[in-house]
Amino acid sequence: MKLKLAILLSMLLLMVSCGGDTAASSSSASSLSPAESQSQPVVSPQQLEEEQRLAALAEQQALAQQRALISQQLEPEIEEICRNYNVTGMSLAVFDENGVFYQQSYGFANVEQQIPASEDTIYRIASISKSVTALLALELTEEGSLSPEQPLPALGGCEILNPNFPDKPITLRHLLTHTAGIFDSGSYWQAVESPSIPPLNTFLYTCYGAEPGEQYCYSNLGMGLVSGVIETASGQRFLDYTREQIFEPMGIDAAYSYTQLEQKDRVADIYQNGERTVHMADWSNMSAKYTNLPLGQLYALGHGDLFITAKDLTRFARIMAGCPQDGEPVVLTGSTLQMMQTVQFSQELPEESYPNEIMRGLGTHITDQLVPDRRMVGHQGNAYGSICGMFFDPQQKNGFVLLTNGSSCQTDQAGLYLVNKETAQAVYSAFFGFTPATE
């Protein structure tokens, strides 16, 4: 707090001194005679542009210095959060509309080999994958290959239609808001846990429930089907499409399959309660599990299997926030972007219920309870013991990515993981003007 007050006072003094100089210059200029006024040099557009450039550069340098000072306080605070929630290893990246300006890592990517987590560590980000998959599908809607509102096409010859509601087609919008009336049945879990996953039509009939569009039911299968929708619209295997059309043009080592990663030694193992639950080397043949499915019938990977670094994931968050890095292969226009950033389905719930908040954009989790007085958009992830979070403020175009390979899974009443929530509030208190409540 003392550091922030000192920074604010120095900025005020700078403003006052600049204002005094301006006033003095104005007074001096007004006292010039007509002859003296005519003899004053005229500032050319080029000179004015250079002055503006130098002023902007000075402002950026001042901001960088301010953030460097703040970072010195934030780092131990984040470390304390990690200790409080038994984080095995983590990487944090904070961004604004100009890109990532703060990174921090903690703990170990591999405990057994004592490999520390770093900004280069690749994590399996679990259900945050859903938001990235949704982003890719929505880009295809902008190209005209898909429509959020039209009935889903047959996926590899398999019709996606609840037989109990044959006149109520299931749409991409339903899948992206978890309102398709599709749930994760026992047969679904048996299918995805098989060494070679079976065709979709062998179990899909066990997963139909409510009328499409009427009820919220969080569904891994529903978002997994978006992978098949992308295959159908693009005419390519999902793993090939994402590698060739997305990750390679971005120049990043990321994939929806461990098999496709180039630098597998950078991937974090996963831990729960101090025990290793996933040894990534055992997933070397991950892609082979999906090769026998007909094109379009994929119902996995897109729901939770993206491997990526925290910093690289911020590039997708920035696309969703409307401030993409120049030259990205995926960019959404205003109306489609709004459907990710704003509530497309909500459900009023009693304050004492769990969760007590359900608001969904297309492929995103929207919450008013992560950071007070801000509506945040993004997604959480939880699998095998890892807890992850990616959230941004679409109004201010800033946010953070927190990836862990093991953490306590405590939540608040809204279902927000406390490690995500406390990290969010620490980040926004430090950099973005949020003042935490005092006891």
For the stretch 82-138, pLDDT in tens is 999 999 999 999 999 999 999 999 999 999 999 999 999 999 999 999 999 999 999
Distance CA 29, CA 260 (A): 68
Task: Give tens-digit pLDDT for 28-63.
Answer: 444 455 555 555 667 788 888 877 888 877 777 777
pLDDT at residue 16 is higher than 80: no
In terms of C-beta density within 10 A (0-12 exposed, 13-18 middle, 19 or more buried), how is residue 54 classed?
Answer: exposed
Tokens of 77: 């605070």
Q: Which residue is it, tokens 């890095």?
A: 325
List pLDDT tens digits, range 221-231.
999 999 999 99
Q: What torsion do the CA atoms of 205, 213, 173, 129 make, to the nearest 10 degrees?
A: -60
Of the chain, the percentage scoring pLDDT greater than 70 comes to: 89
* 377 pLDDT above the threshold of 60: yes
Interval 383-412 mean pLDDT: 98
Please state, in angstroms and rounded to a whole number, the distance separating the CA atoms of residues 364 and 173.
12
As a whole number, mean pLDDT of residues 62-91 equals 92
> Is the pLDDT confidence value at 270 over 90?
yes
Report which DSSP code applies to 140. Answer: H
Confidence (pLDDT) at 18: 43
Judge contact between 119 and 91, C-beta under 8 A.
yes
Question: Which tops the pLDDT comparison, 250 or 334?
Answer: 250
Average pLDDT value for the chain: 91
